[in-house]
Structure 1
Amino acid sequence: MLTHLTLINFALADHLVLDIEQGFNVLTGETGAGKSLLLDALSACLGERTDTNYVRYGAEKADITASFSYQPQSPESYWLKEHELDDDTGEIHLRRVIFATGRSKAWINGRPSSLSELKELGRLLVQLYSQHSQQQLLEPPYPKHWLDRYRNFYQPAQEVKEAYQNWQATIRQHQSALDAQATRLQRIQTLELQLEELEEIVQTDYKETEQEFDRLSHHEHIMQDCAYSLNALDEAEPSINQELASILRRIETHSGRSEQLSEIYNSIVNAQSELDDATSNLRQFMDRQSFDPERMEELNTHLEVFHRLARKYRIQPEELKQEYDNWQLELEKLHQLEDPETLAEQVEIAHGIFLEKAQHLDQIRRDASIPLAKQLTEQVKPLALPEAHFEFKFEPLEQPNAEGLSFIQLLFTANKGMPPQPLARVASGGELSRIALVMQVMNAEKTEAETLVFDEIDVGISGGTAEVVGRLLADLAQHVQLLCITHQPQVAAQSDQHLLVKKQQTDPASSTIIELDEQQRVLELARMSGGVEINDTTLQHAKQLRQLKFQHS
């Protein structure tokens, strides 16, 4: 649930702090006062795209913070734990800073976060419905998506999509096998010859061969330098080891007189131990070395083969082994494609799985559509559409797709005795707005988000219809937190908290949002009902609207 919102240098807001209550909250104000302030700020905190217009004129940056409370076993609590962002306070703090340069930064509970993380968490916290949502009703996929969302058919719909994709993938594999049939044998023969040519040489490691050949090529110099080093370390008079022993005896005499000398003594002891090990290892190395001209010739032959084949296949010598493995893999795949009939069987199996899942989805959609259309009809009728009637129409697709087997239309009629027609063809603008509103409220009842924002979705309604809408939203607010921007006094009168947006003629201009008490609410409802001039009639009407709220509750 949204609890606090802080806006600093955001658009028309200089420094604005809001406490949002549970239940039904409305935001009203005169045209141009800045009612979209809160909505835009909240959207920014939820990871939506912003621009420099959000930064208040003359400021370097805009700073917005939204705070939410949440329950321990809620989806957002699991999300926070998964991302190691829970702090056991039961609160979520989202912060977004927008710079005048166009950059922005985001934080979740004080930790820098990406916009994708903000969006991901935001979808769990807030669901937004706007006045433009009625246009979605006219989009062909909307009835199907609305049906799936309301009845929670996401999982079977996703299974159908995955089964369809798998079926299409097997079709492509089968077609590839058929296409490759003509050139497959020739390619197999080429690969087998190439593999045979590389088979022996790739058993040898190129880098190890090159290193051993280099060592034998410099055998004489290596032995000379090693002999010199061993003589200096242990055989000369005096040797380095003898000199070091003498140094140790001298330092040891005084090591007890100084802590620093004691540390130096220990360091030299360690160095002596290292030199002793090195001397022993050097002697062993020299004892094991021998010059083998036949081995050197063998290595040279291997290297010549490596370089010849590398030139032939236009790669580096050390890459021959990887190329050999790639050819092996390609050859195995070509052998798997040897029988297109096997792949044809896989296509049939995948098609059968898809059809089974698609038929199940189609059936549960059909079963759910009848009571859902009836429920939608009953919800719409009170909104000045007493003869409204809805039906879902299922038309089989010529070719099944990832969405299922049928094209789903929502049919509507507003007149008794008239057959229902596709919604886009027969519904007027006012009817569309009312239908969209009801469908959004019905969807909102199913959402997991605890905060729902309605942005002027009551445009196009008035009078008794607006009163019904207000009650509809008030009933919904018994279960979730609502934040509604409205121009309708009948809707605003049903709210639990009334926030008023006022523009102040400061320099530069600014907007503020204040919470209204009961007396102020009546005055604002009167203004919304009767315009600038508030008289006894509009005041009385405003009081009656508030009384309806208390009677309804």
Structure 2
Amino acid sequence: MLLSLSVRNFVIVDQLELDFRPGFTVLTGETGAGKSIILDALSLLLGGRGDGSLVRHGEERAELSATFAIGDMADVRSWLVGQELADDGNDELLVRRVVDAGGRSRCWLNGRPATLAQLREAGEWLVDIHGQHAHQSLVKPDTQRRLLDAYAGALDIVQAVKGAFEQWQSVKRQRVAAEQHVAEFERERERLQWQISELTELGVQAGEWEDVSASHGRLGNAQELIEAAQTAIDTLSESDHDILSAVGQVQNRLSRLVDVDSKLKDTVALLDSAEAELREAVYALRDYAEGIDQDPAEFARIEKRIDALYSMARKYRVRPEELPEKLAAWREELERLSQSADVDELVRQESDAERLYRDLADQLSLKRQQAAVELADRISEEMQGLAMQGARFAIELAPLAAPAASGMESVEYLVAANAGTALRPMSKVASGGELSRISLAFQIVASQVAAVPTLIFDEVDVGIGGRVAEVVGRLLKRLGQRYQVLCITHLPQVAACGDNQWQVAKHLEAGRTVSSIQTLSDRERVEEIARMLGGEQITDTTRQHAAELLALVA
């Protein structure tokens, strides 16, 4: 349930703090006062599109936040945990969004940064908004099918059917392409096989180019390396004035003087270490010089290998070290091409994909058939109380000429607006007022099976009045016994049915237009409903009529 809403610098709202109650709350006010501001704010909070035009003129940013009670909403709490957005031990969810004048926005759930997608997903559990123009889309086939599927609880299988259809069509396109391009595929396969054979015969290995390049460098400079090593050995230990002998002499002389001055002890230790390391260097140089290969035949073999690798790399316009990767890529491409060109295998895959699609589509069809009968009966029942006595509503499911991503049947709403008339497509026979009432009946029925705790109706009572308006108000009041219901309305009969009533007003403040909302007392409700009944001139008669409306639904 929605507990509170805070709005700052949003459109024409300077600052607004609202605490919500259970039951049926109505919002009223003069045309243009900003009655839809709550709907717009909640839509933005729950992932709707936002831009800089929503920021109040002259301000840097708009800030919105709302608190929802989620203690008995296990799915929401589980989702928050999975998204690492849960506030441990708290049965409330805080949603916050900031939009700056440049159109950039930031979002938070329970104080943690969130994405718009996460806001939208959370919003699907929290609030269901029925717009004032819902009846206009009710005649569209896609809308009719979507509403039936939602009522049937079949949205998951709808997505599965769509995915299966797309997979089936994808394999089908591959099969058709394979059949049309068999010769082309075969030529490409032969080319790849020849190239792979050529590189395989060459025996390229990962890291080989680096290894042979290093070996080539050593063998090509073997004599110079040996001479350099021998010169170093002579200088260190084998010449007439070698370094090791000189160090030894210095070491011996200083060692004899340690007893005279102990400060020389550390220096002698350093010389001992230096002598040991120099001897290790001499041993290492001797091993190195003895290990250098001067085999001309090996050098020739490596040069030949380098030439072969370089020539192959130049042929295929890659670097020599990239030849192993090229070979692996060709093998993958050949495997993919072999699968694509395998018509028999593609025919089998296509058959399997079609079978899966039809199995899922049959399940969807069954759900639609069962839901269509129940939904049509319930809407027909609701229509009787909306000044459409004797009217009937039906949902026709007709097989499609060819399977589609949406299933194997079309969905069409039929209506008989008057007793004794035949059912006909709703788009052809229903007037604007009748469409509005059918839409309201549909929303009432659909809401009764919804799990969303908060329902918002934005002037869904457009096109009705009089006794029908009173019936609509009572329907919404009845709905408020099960859900938290908010309704923006211009009808006094609907407003009178509210458990709570808020008035939206617009006024000038420091030269700027400001919208405000206040909760009405019983006396103030009489005045507001009287205004809705009589306009600017409120008389004692209109006040009495307003009081009677409130008394009738108390």
Secondary structure of 1:200's match? helix
Paired amino acid for 1:124: W
Paired amino acid for 2:320: P
- The answer to whether residue 188 in structure 2 is matched with residue 184 in structure 1 is no
Counterpart selection for 1:419 from 413, 422, 437: 422
Of the structure 1 ranges 393-402 and 116-125, higher mean CA displacement relative to structure 2 is found in: 116-125
Secondary structure of 2:460's match? coil
Query: Residue by residue, what CA displacement relative to the aligned partner does 1:415-447 show, whole Å, maximum 9, x if unpaired?
Result: 121111100100000001111112122222233
Query: Residue by residue, what CA displacement relative to the aligned partner does 1:430-489 show, whole Å, maximum 9, x if unpaired?
Result: 001111112122222233322222111111111221111112112222222222211112
Contact kept in structure 2, 1:8 and 1:62, CA below 8 Å: yes
Secondary structure of 2:174's match? helix
- The answer to whether residue 507 in structure 2 is matched with residue 504 in structure 1 is yes
Superposition deviation, residue 179 in structure 1: 2.1
Superposition deviation, residue 226 in structure 1: 7.0
1:258 counterpart residue number: none
CA separation in 2, counterparts of 1:78 and 1:59? 38
Structure-2-length-normalised TM-score? 0.86
Paired amino acid for 1:494: C
2:28 counterpart residue number: 28
2:158 counterpart residue number: 157
CA separation in 2, counterparts of 1:226 and 1:45? 77
Paired amino acid for 1:86: A
1:174 counterpart residue number: 175
Secondary structure of 1:378's match? helix
- The answer to whether residue 354 in structure 2 is matched with residue 351 in structure 1 is yes
1:144 counterpart residue number: 145
Query: Residue by residue, what CA displacement relative to the aligned partner does 1:143-189 show, whole Å, maximum 9, x if unpaired?
Result: 22111111112233233223322321221222122123222333332
Contact kept in structure 2, 1:137 and 1:436, CA below 8 Å: yes
- The answer to whether residue 534 in structure 2 is matched with residue 530 in structure 1 is yes
Which runs of structure 2 are paired with 1:431-510 in the superposition (5 Å)?
431-507=434-510, 508-510=512-514
Contact kept in structure 2, 1:23 and 1:482, CA below 8 Å: yes
1:61 counterpart residue number: 61
Given the superposition, is the C-alpha separation of residues 369 and 47 from structure 1 closer, same or farther in structure 2, using an over 3 Å criterion? Answer: closer
Given the superposition, is the C-alpha separation of residues 305 and 383 from structure 1 closer, same or farther in structure 2, using an over 3 Å criterion? Answer: same
Of the structure 1 ranges 426-435 and 527-536, higher mean CA displacement relative to structure 2 is found in: 527-536
Larger Rg: 2
Contact kept in structure 2, 1:231 and 1:239, CA below 8 Å: no
Paired amino acid for 1:168: Q
Paired amino acid for 1:58: G
CA separation in 1, counterparts of 2:283 and 2:93? 63
Given the superposition, is the C-alpha separation of residues 533 and 307 from structure 1 closer, same or farther in structure 2, using an over 3 Å criterion? Answer: same
Contact kept in structure 2, 1:392 and 1:409, CA below 8 Å: yes
Contact kept in structure 2, 1:202 and 1:320, CA below 8 Å: no
Secondary structure of 2:451's match? coil
Give me the CA root mean square deviation: 3.1
Structure-1-length-normalised TM-score? 0.86
Contact kept in structure 1, 2:389 and 2:419, CA below 8 Å: no
Contact kept in structure 2, 1:501 and 1:511, CA below 8 Å: yes
Secondary structure of 1:59's match? coil
Which runs of structure 2 are paired with 1:80-229 in the superposition (5 Å)?
80-88=80-88, 89-204=90-205, 205-219=208-222
Superposition deviation, residue 228 in structure 1: 8.2
Given the superposition, is the C-alpha separation of residues 226 and 106 from structure 1 closer, same or farther in structure 2, using an over 3 Å criterion? Answer: farther
CA separation in 2, counterparts of 1:143 and 1:159? 19
Given the superposition, is the C-alpha separation of residues 231 and 426 from structure 1 closer, same or farther in structure 2, using an over 3 Å criterion? Answer: farther
Contact kept in structure 1, 2:128 and 2:456, CA below 8 Å: yes
Counterpart selection for 2:395 from 392, 396, 405: 392
CA separation in 2, counterparts of 1:442 and 1:15? 36
Given the superposition, is the C-alpha separation of residues 286 and 521 from structure 1 closer, same or farther in structure 2, using an over 3 Å criterion? Answer: farther
Of the structure 1 ranges 382-391 and 70-79, higher mean CA displacement relative to structure 2 is found in: 70-79
Secondary structure of 1:461's match? coil
Superposition deviation, residue 279 in structure 1: 6.2
Given the superposition, is the C-alpha separation of residues 184 and 32 from structure 1 closer, same or farther in structure 2, using an over 3 Å criterion? Answer: closer
Given the superposition, is the C-alpha separation of residues 291 and 414 from structure 1 closer, same or farther in structure 2, using an over 3 Å criterion? Answer: same
CA separation in 2, counterparts of 1:452 and 1:232? 95
Contact kept in structure 1, 2:9 and 2:61, CA below 8 Å: yes
- The answer to whether residue 298 in structure 2 is matched with residue 319 in structure 1 is no
CA separation in 2, counterparts of 1:186 and 1:438? 64
The count of aligned residue pairs is 525
Given the superposition, is the C-alpha separation of residues 350 and 47 from structure 1 closer, same or farther in structure 2, using an over 3 Å criterion? Answer: closer
Paired amino acid for 1:544: E
Given the superposition, is the C-alpha separation of residues 221 and 385 from structure 1 closer, same or farther in structure 2, using an over 3 Å criterion? Answer: farther
Contact kept in structure 2, 1:126 and 1:450, CA below 8 Å: yes
CA separation in 1, counterparts of 2:23 and 2:102? 38
Superposition deviation, residue 26 in structure 1: 1.7
Given the superposition, is the C-alpha separation of residues 184 and 515 from structure 1 closer, same or farther in structure 2, using an over 3 Å criterion? Answer: same
2:553 counterpart residue number: 549
Superposition deviation, residue 227 in structure 1: 7.5
Secondary structure of 1:305's match? helix
Given the superposition, is the C-alpha separation of residues 282 and 36 from structure 1 closer, same or farther in structure 2, using an over 3 Å criterion? Answer: farther
Superposition deviation, residue 220 in structure 1: 5.5
Paired amino acid for 1:525: I
2:76 counterpart residue number: 76
Secondary structure of 2:3's match? strand
Paired amino acid for 1:486: T
Secondary structure of 2:94's match? strand
CA separation in 2, counterparts of 1:147 and 1:488? 29
Secondary structure of 1:393's match? strand
Contact kept in structure 2, 1:233 and 1:239, CA below 8 Å: no
Of the structure 1 ranges 384-393 and 300-309, higher mean CA displacement relative to structure 2 is found in: 300-309
Superposition deviation, residue 229 in structure 1: 8.3
Given the superposition, is the C-alpha separation of residues 428 and 305 from structure 1 closer, same or farther in structure 2, using an over 3 Å criterion? Answer: same
2:376 counterpart residue number: 373
2:520 counterpart residue number: 516
Contact kept in structure 1, 2:233 and 2:282, CA below 8 Å: no
2:298 counterpart residue number: 295
Paired amino acid for 1:196: S
Q: Which runs of 5+ in 2 are unaligned?
A: 264-269
Contact kept in structure 1, 2:4 and 2:20, CA below 8 Å: yes
Contact kept in structure 2, 1:226 and 1:282, CA below 8 Å: no
Q: Which runs of 5+ in 1 are unaligned?
A: 255-267
Superposition deviation, residue 337 in structure 1: 5.0
Superposition deviation, residue 335 in structure 1: 3.8
CA separation in 2, counterparts of 1:117 and 1:281? 69
CA separation in 2, counterparts of 1:376 and 1:218? 94
